[in-house]
Amino acid sequence: MLLRLVKGRKIPKLTAVTTAVALALSPILPPILAPMPAAAQEAKGPPVIRDTEAEQLLRDYTRPILRVAGLEKQNIQVVIINDSAFNAFVADGHRIFVNYGAIMQSETPNQLIGVLAHETGHLAGGHLAKMREQIAHAQTQMIIAMLLGAGAVVAGARAGNSNGGLADAGAAAFSAPQSIIQRSLLSYQRQQEENADRAGVKFLTETGQSAKGMYETFQRFSNDSLFAAHGADPYLQSHPMPADRVAALEELARTSPYWDKKDDPALQMRHNMVRAKISAFMESPNTVYRRYPLSDTSMPARYAHAITTYRHGNLRDALIQIDALIQMQPANPYFYELRGQALVEGGKPTEAIAPLRKAVQLSHNAPLIEMLLGQALVGTDNKAYTEEAIAILRAAVSRETEAPLGYTQLAMAYGRKGDYAEADLASAQAAYLRGDNKTARELASRAKTRFAIGTPGWVRADDIVTAKPMPGQKSN
């Protein structure tokens, strides 16, 4: 089930120089500017894509790397951002953010794994915390320099025109330290990027994987960046200059005994399937059929065709195509999930129940798929399914705590049961996750009046009423 969610993330207010450095710290490549959807702008955060199949693939890519990096028990998550540009970055110590464009533009698993290895290098090196320390130190230096400059200006003014040079020197003191501090921060950041490159190659080698994909990715973007970097001051770059970086990376990567190791064909197929799925959900039909013409009968192409048909064409034809995929791979949970999603969105929730039950079983109770099954059960308007829907949705939200869909469907199921206290509480939780704090507090306040004081439901409702806004949310 491919969903697009918007979650706000607050960016601290820093000085212009330090903000620029902080924002440039994490991306694997120099930041690529792209229009942001209006909804994301309002939430002041990146729009997030949720999909069990894609997330499982990325988990499988990162698991061995995190293990050798000593981060296996740190609950590191890989989050997919709704942005077609090629980029990946870390913004805290627990998540790696990957644009869907990075998945689409990585032709092999190894290329994307190399990107993830580089970002893991940032996490393992504690680069974010260290950069925050550098920024804090730079801010202190900047404040001192500005105070000294202000003092010189005042002294020059008091001395009159005869000491105009002192005033000029004081004015210059406002700008010169900022330039020096900026260069120092950027130099420190370039060193962190080089360290992440080396750490990434080390992790890949220790897991028996090639660093060629990582090199290929940087080489491609180095070629694209050469014109832009021509004549640039290397001391004002947040990342190492492209040619130097790629040359150093190639020299290091070629020392690995796994340089020529190829991706496993089964892994390559999974990679291709996820790319086809993202293309079909995120791109226009014309683009999809240019990527996967009707003459292409490969499994990824047929996957893309089936999704595009259900989203933009005829449900009946889409179901025929999906059933053909199921016949070819009867143990693939995501084909059953797709069939169920197409039926739910096509207004046939009762017919969606059976394939979604199968998808939940084959996926070992993936919570996002459980939520879709819960949506189908609630959507039938059959009260006989109410208790089952509640049980499934409660299990799903207990393991997937940041998806509003689960709480929204849970509220509907509780409402159908007549349990309005739990319905209000679930609705409040959904509103809170969407960033609608005003509605969340109103619903939670009402839920408190329905629960006995001190009960678990009352306590959860009270937590929402008194909670501070999530990062990026307005307090309303």
41-89 tens-digit pLDDT: 334 446 889 999 999 999 999 999 999 999 988 889 999 999 999 988 8
Q: Which residue has the higher pLDDT, 236 or 456?
A: 456
Q: Which residue has the higher pLDDT, 445 or 35?
A: 445
* Encoded tokens for 455: 């009960």
Q: 13: pLDDT confidence band, cut at 50, 70 and 90?
A: very low
Q: 37: pLDDT confidence band, cut at 50, 70 and 90?
A: very low
Q: Which residue has the higher pLDDT, 3 or 334?
A: 334
Q: Which residues contact 203 (CB under 8 A, 6 or more apart)?
A: 65, 68, 69, 117, 120, 121, 124
The predicted structure's pLDDT at residue 283: 96
Q: H-helix or E-strand containing 414?
A: helix 404-417
Find the Cα–Cα–Cα–Cα dihedral 193, 199, 201, 203, rounded to 10°.
Answer: -140
Examine the pLDDT at 3 and tell me if it is beyond 70. no
Q: 424: pLDDT confidence band, cut at 50, 70 and 90?
A: very high
In terms of Cα–Cα distance, which of 312, 313, 292 is closest to 303?
292
CB 143 within 8 A of CB 17: no
Q: 227: pLDDT confidence band, cut at 50, 70 and 90?
A: very low
Q: In this structure, which amino acid lies at residue 318?
A: A
Q: Which residue has the higher pLDDT, 126 or 256?
A: 256
Q: In this structure, which amino acid lies at residue 243?
A: A
Count of CB atoms situated within 10 Å of the CB of 206: 14
Examine the pLDDT at 463 and tell me if it is beyond 50. yes
Looking up tokens 């309303």 gives 476
- Rounded Cα distance between 187 and 193, Å, is 10
Q: Which residue has the higher pLDDT, 72 or 32?
A: 72
- Rounded Cα distance between 272 and 31, Å, is 26
Mean pLDDT of 360-371: 97
In terms of Cα–Cα distance, which of 36, 37, 11 is closest to 24?
11
| Eight-state DSSP code of residue 458 | H
Examine the pLDDT at 223 and tell me if it is beyond 80. no
pTM of the shown model? 0.78
The predicted structure's pLDDT at residue 474: 53
Chain segment 102-140, per-residue pLDDT in tens: 999 999 999 999 999 999 998 887 645 554 555 454 454
The predicted structure's pLDDT at residue 17: 33
The predicted structure's pLDDT at residue 67: 95
Average pLDDT of the chain is 80
> Measured at the alpha carbon of residue 226, what is the angle toward residues 225 and 230, in degrees to the nearest 5?
120
Range with lowest mean pLDDT among 104-118, 198-212, 236-250, 307-321: 236-250
CB 8 within 8 A of CB 43: yes
Q: 5: pLDDT confidence band, cut at 50, 70 and 90?
A: very low
404-417 and 420-434 helices, crossing angle to 10°: 160
